[in-house]
Structure 1
Amino acid sequence: MEEQDIPRDPPEAPSRSGPSRTAENVAAFRAAESMLPEDQRVCYDPYAIRFTDPDRLDRLTEYADRHFPGLRSYVAARARHFDDVITLAAKTGLSQLVILGAGYDTRAYRIPEFKDRVRVFELDRPDTQQVKKEKIAEIFGRLPPDVVYVPVDLEVQDFGTRLAEAGYSTEKKTLFVMEGLIMYLTPQTVDAVLSFIVHNSGRNSAVLFDYPAGSGNEDSPSGETGEDLGSQTARGGEPFRFFMPKEGAGEFLRARGFSRLRVTTGEEYRGLYFNRAKEGRELRTVSSFVYALRGDQ
């Protein structure tokens, strides 16, 4: 989200270049959430502030709350849910974590259960990933040995080949994570990613992602007053390209070789993460979270 007013009829989206602005904004929202008192925050990421400009943080959050009320709470709920699912997987035999469109995700560096247990592969476009590596090296003095950075554009390059070249094993239990990503991929790329997971991962491997329920605002409590997020990200060169088909996530994923699905709806994560200390906060619930095991387990 750029700090500017959004025309009602935005021009055609420009080609994206440079590090992802969306990745920076999401990190900023996690940083702002992490600054809240412990009993009021939904997620905690001590490194998120390093991926945004602290002097810009207040302006960005104020802008988001004015144009996209409830969005910051959604990002916090998503981060917390993904943290919980990934941490549980790390405690129960996970060997590899593959983060597609990793952006400024910091789980490889802050989840203690990963240490000496889980090898993390971070996939992203080279321009964003280079910024990530520079920041991580600044924070820790080096790049961690258990994190493998795989520069790849999912839309135009064979990410499976890049993963194999980076040391990925098709035999190990792996969790594939697409946080805030799938809506930016073409349907063809989504199918290619899901096919790779089904045919190239070990027993009990799974996928975790969030997906938009529809056009972007119909389930939002502020749908009549909030701006359209898809139009804004498109102006930054990151348009929405994928929406879950009408048959729903269950049928969609089962047809592509997955089983044992768990879909967490907006009302469910509202109940999970927004207790009395947080009940006054507005929350956009336009997306659901899904965890699914590959079939034939």
Structure 2
Amino acid sequence: MNDEEHSRTALMAAAARAAHLVVDREPFIFEDTVVQALLGGNAEELIGYHRAYGEHLILSGVRAQVTARSHYTERRLAELAAEGMPQYVILGAGLDTFAQRYPLTERVAVFEVDHPATQRWKRDLLTAAGITAPGELAFVGVDFETDALLDRLTACKFDPATPALVSWLGVSMYLTGQAVGATLAEIGRMAPGTELIMEYALPETLRDEKGAAFAQMAMAAAAERGEPWLSFFTPEELSATLAEHGLEVTEHVRQEEAVAPELWRRNDALLPTDACRLVRATVGAGGGGR
């Protein structure tokens, strides 16, 4: 991505969250009630595509992916915020709308981290939609391939001595393994007790049949947009990489496990695949190094 381009992947993920409430039936996995307004003039075309072709695996798969991972992450955030966790960092935030949807931001400082071009685009969309960004929201411009994450966060009033929840969804597969490791090293420098929820792509040999078909189509579409998938991990490989950087794994989560089982008892096309998983890990007592 250059300095003038925003993320097309972020647009597709936002469209899938919006389309979920229009195309899929209840029970809804995740209710993003702001994103359709944020999409503005693009909303009808993007949602209309899901209306017309929403049962196709690539579209239903994306809706399942983005809703399940957001459900899992924001549920964990609510638990941690109730315990006093004061900071929430969203890596690769794209068109995330958490800060616009929940008064939780009165107690939690939110840091949206993304490429500066994507952030300029989002802020323009917020202005066009008449949506006000809350004062507790900080936009932190970072290029994950080159920039030091913690330094950029600290410059935006992030407190590196205080624990945070860090979400990293829909990003790692688009980065080189070296960039993933560098970002994990930065997270490992955060305060002990900091939690990371990261989404990662499985190698071909671990995908289930539906996940293999979904990944093949998703990878081809992403490459066509100029955002190819670059890194893949087995759970064991990622656990070892996290441990190298001071993060202790709590759990690896399949998509079907990310939400309550009854949410997958459906009469529509929304079904879980096993192409990408979530991992939750915590910075140990040796973290927080500078």
Question: Which interval holds the TM-score relative to the shorter structure?
Answer: 0.7 to 0.9
Higher helix share: 2
Q: What is the letter of the counterpart of residue 163 of structure 1?
A: L
Shift of 1:204: 1.0
1:63-116 superposed Cα distances (whole Å, 9 cap, x missing partner): 56436153322222122112212222222221111111110011122133222x
Matched, 1:152 2:142: yes
Shift of 1:24: 0.8
Q: Residues 25 and 172 (structure 1 numbering): CA distance in 2 closer, same or farther, change over 3 Å?
A: same
1:165-208 superposed Cα distances (whole Å, 9 cap, x missing partner): 11111111111111101111111111111111112x22311111
Among 218, 226, 231, the residue aligned to 1:229: 218
RMSD value, Cα: 2.8
Q: Take 1:216 and 1:114, find their aligned partners in 2: how far apart are those partners?
A: 41
1:132-157 superposed Cα distances (whole Å, 9 cap, x missing partner): 11223344554321101112211122
Q: Which residue of 2 aligns with 1:184?
A: 174
Q: Take 2:267 and 2:275, find their aligned partners in 1: how far apart are those partners?
A: 19
Q: Which residue of 2 aligns with 1:242?
A: 231
- In the alignment, is the contact (CA less than 8 A) between 1:93 and 1:173 conserved in 2? no
Q: Take 1:110 and 1:233, find their aligned partners in 2: how far apart are those partners?
A: 28
Q: Which residue of 1 aligns with 2:258?
A: 269
Among 54, 70, 76, the residue aligned to 1:79: 70
Q: Take 2:139 and 2:262, find their aligned partners in 1: how far apart are those partners?
A: 31
Instruction: Look up the SS of the partner of 1:208 in the other structure.
Output: strand
Q: What is the aligned-residue identity percentage?
A: 26
Matched, 1:33 2:20: yes
Q: Take 1:249 and 1:273, find their aligned partners in 2: how far apart are those partners?
A: 29
For structure 1, list consecutive stretches of 5 or more residues without a partner in the other structure. 1-13
Instruction: Look up the SS of the partner of 2:272 in the other structure.
Output: coil
Q: Take 2:61 and 2:24, find their aligned partners in 1: how far apart are those partners?
A: 19
Q: What is the letter of the counterpart of residue 247 of structure 1?
A: E
- In the alignment, is the contact (CA less than 8 A) between 2:71 and 2:259 conserved in 1? no
Q: Residues 98 and 271 (structure 1 numbering): CA distance in 2 closer, same or farther, change over 3 Å?
A: closer
Q: What does residue range 12-161 of structure 1 map to in structure 2 within 5 Å?
A: 18-35=5-22, 39-52=26-39, 53-56=42-45, 57-60=47-50, 62-63=52-53, 65-66=55-56, 68=58, 69-115=60-106, 117-139=107-129, 142-161=132-151
Shift of 1:268: 2.0
Q: Residues 15 and 118 (structure 1 numbering): CA distance in 2 closer, same or farther, change over 3 Å?
A: closer
Q: Take 1:67 and 1:267, find their aligned partners in 2: how far apart are those partners?
A: 16
For structure 2, list consecutive stretches of 5 or more residues without a partner in the other structure. none
Among 157, 160, 167, the residue aligned to 1:170: 160
- In the alignment, is the contact (CA less than 8 A) between 2:142 and 2:149 conserved in 1? yes
Shift of 1:272: 3.2
Q: Take 2:184 and 2:215, find their aligned partners in 1: how far apart are those partners?
A: 33
Deviates more, 1:132-141 or 1:25-34: 132-141
Q: Take 1:246 and 1:173, find their aligned partners in 2: how far apart are those partners?
A: 25
Shift of 1:237: 1.4
Give the TM-score taking structure 1 as reference length: 0.84
Give the TM-score taking structure 2 as reference length: 0.85
Q: Residues 113 and 260 (structure 1 numbering): CA distance in 2 closer, same or farther, change over 3 Å?
A: same
- In the alignment, is the contact (CA less than 8 A) between 1:178 and 1:209 conserved in 2? yes
Q: What is the letter of the counterpart of residue 221 of structure 1?
A: K
Q: What is the letter of the counterpart of residue 110 of structure 2?
A: V
Q: Take 2:180 and 2:212, find their aligned partners in 1: how far apart are those partners?
A: 27
Q: Residues 80 and 273 (structure 1 numbering): CA distance in 2 closer, same or farther, change over 3 Å?
A: farther
- In the alignment, is the contact (CA less than 8 A) between 1:71 and 1:283 conserved in 2? no
Deviates more, 1:120-129 or 1:280-289: 280-289
Count of equivalent residues: 282
Q: Residues 216 and 55 (structure 1 numbering): CA distance in 2 closer, same or farther, change over 3 Å?
A: farther
1:32-84 superposed Cα distances (whole Å, 9 cap, x missing partner): 11236883211100111124312212125545643615332222212211221
Among 184, 194, 197, the residue aligned to 1:205: 194
- In the alignment, is the contact (CA less than 8 A) between 1:40 and 1:278 conserved in 2? no
